[in-house]
Chain A
């Protein structure tokens, strides 16, 4: 614990704790949500649009469902969204970047000009267009965001590989007659993996934010599945009189996005290990 604070600083440690808390909430949703059935989508019209109270801590929505339970269930969708977007993006971007960086020449030119095409469009606009073309839905919204996301990983991976390719130990493997495939898997991939995973972990935040934006526009998860972006959108009609409907999920998005951003900064400015004190 002390080492963690030393490495990340207090803000980073708190941000990490918040993120881990959200993960825990997502896993334990059915057990910790006050009204699990409402969280999963069952209406409770009798209590519709109640303001925050002892029974409904964060109030209820237009179908009387407990907002807290909805947010807790929405954590599952949001985090899965974020993780899957990043995972899909890595799945495309990493091989493209590896190949471009390692082989260079025309392979590099072709692949990187290809990624530039995607980077030429504003990311959110492209995601909206993709989502509109594919139609709403959980998987479609993920694909739509991933399409705008992967070129960044391709560029990052390529930059890492360009450095690694010139390392004497990689050259030594090549001079020993080791095949390209084996060099990439044994020497390049493990070394690129680490910085890329750190970056990817941090991107989960912005990714779930983009996914929330899509569902706010009605291009994401379909009701009755709970989703933060979609809740903010649905609550808009009752704003500001029933402010809690939009505000509570909105606050949640804000908190998790901020937590990822703070953790990202902390990791970038990370201090050395305890060795520094000794030297």
Chain B
């Protein structure tokens, strides 16, 4: 069942020098119980897409969409009401998400008392249970701690426990492992996978890291210049990419080629966020670009549930 259904989402921010098209056209369709990766490089609009779902876009920003539904409710009206109730955020920097001067017990209790109707004693037990569910070995000790006494990985687990405490069933994780060591990040991703299967959560995983997508996600959507250019099961997107940009991105990874060989860098840079784009946004950098690419919006190509936007026919991919 589709939990999040987004069609043609755009976010533009008016400035004196003209509108900044932070998100141009993003389609997202996320099934209940999946981890859906949104991948892209800086400036692709991935974070702004997540913020739009939380109702946290900058003041004055305009959000438009053909459809912007979360579990049947229209997010363009209800985003800020659903935030912290059904939709939770796990951000890149867990240290910044926790109040440095309050104990973990106090911060967990604040969340629980705001969202759950239960007596104080039960709340303490619930807080401990939630921390235990995130794999923290000694919940009672963690409850007595202050954020700075915990490692980055432990802090991120506390943030996840807080999100669970709100009762949220949809988590937006914005680069949740970027600030952590690789081995610790892998554990946090494993935790998210476990929570998804045990508690029926749904996760939108925003990342720039292909390894995170490969490690944790069921499906993925690739963003380029504020547009979703490809979406599908992770296996298809990573092993049989349809869009030339996805192919280029995968080829640029240091472990893509043989040891020491030159890497396939993508020449050029993303189009500036203020200009309008007529055809395919990747056309100027695309090694397979044709005349039509710069002029006309690319059509949808599909292999089962794997879809991408490209002028090249399916069999060329």
Q: Which of A's residues lie within 8 Å of B, judged by CB?
A: 274, 277-279
Contacts and interface: CB of A to CB of B under 8 A. Distances in A.
Nearest to A278: B15
A164 to B, nearest CB: 24
Contacts of A277: 60
B19 to A, nearest CB: 11
Give the 10 A-B residue pairs with the shortest CB-CB distance, closest first.
A278-B15, A279-B58, A278-B16, A278-B13, A278-B14, A279-B13, A278-B60, A279-B59, A277-B60, A274-B16
Contacts of A274: 16
A266 to B, nearest CB: 24
- Chain B binding surface, main DSSP class: loop
A278 B15 CA distance: 5
A273 to B, nearest CB: 12
A274 B16 CA distance: 10
Nearest to B14: A278
Contacts of A279: 13, 58-59
Nearest to A276: B59
A86 to B, nearest CB: 38
B209 to A, nearest CB: 24
Contacts of B16: 274, 278
Nearest to B16: A278
A274 B15 CA distance: 10
Given A274-B16, A279-B13, 6 more contacts: A277-B60, A278-B15, A278-B16, A278-B60, A279-B58, A279-B59
B16 to A, nearest CB: 7
10 contacts: A274-B16, A277-B60, A278-B13, A278-B14, A278-B15, A278-B16, A278-B60, A279-B13, A279-B58, A279-B59
Contacts of B59: 279
A279 B59 CA distance: 7
Contacts of B13: 278-279
Interface string B292-311: 00000000000000000000
A277 B58 CA distance: 10
Interface string B153-183: 0000000000000000000000000000000
A191 to B, nearest CB: 26
A255 to B, nearest CB: 38
Contacts of B58: 279
**Residue of B13, B14, B15 with most chain A CB atoms under a 10 A cut-off:** B15
Interface string B1-22: 0000000000001111000000
A277 B16 CA distance: 10
Nearest to B15: A278
Contacts of A278: 13-16, 60
A54 to B, nearest CB: 53
A278 B60 CA distance: 8
